[in-house]
Amino acid sequence: MSQVIDGTGLTPNDVLAIGALVEPWTNACVGRDWDSLLGMCTDDIVFQPPNEPSVAGRDVRRWLDNFPAIKAMAWHIDHVEGVGHLACASGWVKMTLEMDGQQLVFDGKYTDVFRRQPDGTWRFALVIWNSNTAA
C-alpha cells in the first residue's frame, strides 16, 4: 500500500480509505480487469491521459480496452487533502507497457480527484497523469 504523507482536511479513516485504493487499482490495471477498475470510479469519471484528449463516462471503457498491456505498475501517494466530499491525491507512477511487442517504461506523475459516495466510500472522479520525459 502507498504511504500517505499528508491528509490535510480529511479524517484519518478517509486517508486510509483513499490509500487502500492503490493496490486494487494496480491489480485491476495489470490484470486488465476494467470492470473492477470502473467499479472504483464515479459514473462520470474523466481520464486525462498524456498527449491525448480527455475521455469521460462510458467512453472510458472503450479507451481502456485499447490501452496497451500494463506488465508492471507502481504508484505512490505523496500528498492527499480534501474537504467535504472531495479529495485530491498526487504522487508518482511507474508502468511497464507492452506496445507492438516492445516494452516501454513510463515514469510519470499524477493527480487524482476522489468523490465520497453516499455510502461513505471514496471513488475516483478524475484521473490525470503525465510523463516526466518529453514526448
Alpha-carbon distance of 124 to 111, in angstroms, equals 11
What pLDDT, on the 0 to 100 scale, is given for residue 7?
61
109-135 pLDDT tens trace:
999 999 999 999 999 999 999 999 865
Print the SS3 string covering 94-132. Answer: EEEEEECCEEEEEEEEEEEEEEECCCCCEEEEEEEEEEC
Task: Please give the pLDDT value at position 130.
Answer: 95
Share of the chain above pLDDT 90, in %: 86
DSSP alpha helices (H): ranges in the chain?
A: 12-19, 22-30, 34-39, 59-65
- The pLDDT-based confidence of 37 (bands split at 50, 70, 90) is very high
Residue 35 has pLDDT above 60, yes or no: yes
Q: Once rounded to an integer, what is the mean pLDDT over residues 91-116?
A: 96
Instruction: Give me the residues paired with residue 129 across strands.
Output: 110
Name which CATH class applies to 7-131.
Answer: alpha beta
Which pLDDT band holds residue 2 (cuts at 50, 70, 90)? very low
Least confident of 1-10, 11-20, 25-34, 123-132: 1-10
As a whole number, mean pLDDT of residues 79-93 equals: 95
Distance CA 64, CA 38 (A): 10
Give me the residue spans of the domains in the chain: 7-131
